[in-house]
Each structure stands twice: as C-alpha cells, then as structure tokens.
Amino acid sequence: MNILVLEDEQRAGEKLIDAIESVTDNPKITWKRSIQETISFLIDSPALDVIFSDIELLDGNVFKVYEHIQPDCPIIFCTAYNTFYVDAFKTNGIAYILKPYTSEAFNEAWNKFLLLCNGNDLKNSDAILDKLKYILTTQKQPYKSTFSIKKRDGVFLLKVSDIVYFQAQGDFVIAIDILKRKHIINESLAQIESQLNGNLFYRINRSEIINKNFILKYDKHIKNRLLIVLQEIDTIVYTSNSKTSSFKKWVNY
C-alpha cells in the first residue's frame, strides 16, 4: 500500500507509523509535517491508498491542503482536536481518531477503511459516501456537562457551562470558573477537549481552551495572533499564530 502520513510531532508520527506497519505488510509510507511540503508532494505523487492526517501541522491547519488539492483516496484523521468533524466529511474522511488514541481505536478505523473502501474510488460510490456520512455523524460522543472535582471536604460537581477557560499546567489542567475559582482536573488538555462541545469551546493555543459564551471581544495582536478578552473574570488570552484563522471562523459560526 502507498500511504501518506501527515503529522507534525515526532513521537506521534513514529507511533502512527508503528501502528500502520502492525496492520499491513511492507507499506510504502511517506511522512510529511507541513502544509507546504504536503502540497508539493501531492502535486506530483503517485496514487495513494489512504492518508492518515493530523489537523494542525507545523505551518497551519491541514484543511488548507485540501482546499488546494482533493486527494482521490480516503483519509483517516488522527488529531487532538474534536471540532473538525464537518470539515473532515467535506474531504474524503472515513474516520476520526482522537488523541491519545488506543490500538483498539486505530484498528477500528483501519477496519472501516478495509470494509468500506476496499480499493474503490470514494468519489464514484454514492453508497460508500452515505456510509461515511453515517460514521462521522454517529461517532460523536455525548458532551460532558460536569467535572467531578475532589476537595478536602468532598467531591464538588463543576458545571461545564460555568467554566470560562481551561489552562494546561504540566500533567494536569486548571479550570477557571465564573467566580475566578481554580479547579484542578487530572486529565490532559486533549482529553478534556475531546469531551467538550466544539461549538462552545475552542483550543486557541497548545495550552488553553476557552468558552465562547465568555468572550467579550478580540483584537489584533503581534505576529498574526489575536488578543481575546474574557468577561466575568477580566482575563486576556492569546491565540497562537496557527490558530488565528480557524478561531475567526469558529467564533463567527
């Protein structure tokens, strides 16, 4: 099989390649880490059987690639972001694996590829596209409504709707609520993001997720970044350079 891997992180890319090699014999795997090199490769590349695609690459959002080039092969998305299901289906997405994914999740996605595609061209099969739409629309899990926070005097139920933003702090995450109280959540930011409603919560950089309901305003900042003012707690946060464009689309949706 001729397989393209799009992943900017070294360890994640190595893990993904190991997983691919565990389910197929002698695959020809090409690994790209940026939008620019991916577009250059796809322009002149031979026919691909499948693409494993992250969302955020070194120089921006991978959907910039698919705006220029529409591959004729299926795409399995492997990402820490849970807000791009619709965009994934607009491409040839057949599965959406949220990091950190297990071998079971990977194998399930791979089996869907084998079952649904089986070497066929997705664009020429309405039946396959109908099945893919069903997969993507039914794969979402119910959104989390509360977090259980352990305190000295018991377990406190923190409503997700009361959280203004999340901030990663090493091996755990701090949730800041509307009363400016800080709560420790012993999960990674990626794990938390996968449980949230992507229409209301957005990861603006590698370490922070914000609640749309508490955005007072945003403005230009240096180097294509945005300054965001969060009301109720009078806090300012910033988008990363690579997230600015997608944030504007999200906040105005």
The arithmetic mean of pLDDT across residues 148-164, rounded, is: 91
| Percent of the chain surpassing pLDDT 90 | 45
Q: What percent of the chain has pLDDT over 70?
A: 89
pLDDT band for position 66 (cuts 50, 70, 90): confident
* pLDDT attached to residue 129: 53
Mean pLDDT within 184-202? 87
- Please give the pLDDT value at position 167: 96
- Parallel, antiparallel, or unpaired: how do β-strands 172-177 and 182-185 relate? antiparallel
pLDDT in tens, 103-123: 888 999 999 888 876 545 444
**Is cis: bond before 46, omega within 30 of 0?**
no
In the predicted model, what is the mean pLDDT of residues 70-98?
Answer: 83
User: What CA–CA distance (Å, rounded) separates 23 from 119?
Assistant: 16
The residue-averaged pLDDT of 28-39 equals: 93
Please, what are the domains in the chain? 2-138 (3.40.50.2300), 146-251 (2.40.50.1020)
pLDDT band at 7 (very low <50, low <70, confident <90, very high): very high
Across the range 184-198, mean pLDDT stands at 87
Residues 183 and 163: their CA atoms lie apart, in Å, by: 10
The pair phi, psi for residue 27, each rounded to 5°, is -70, 150
Residues 6+ apart with CB under 8 A from 41: 4, 30, 32
Strands 50-53 and 2-6: parallel
pLDDT of residue 71: 83
* Residue 204: closest CA among 234, 154, 247: 247
Give the chain's mean pLDDT. Answer: 86
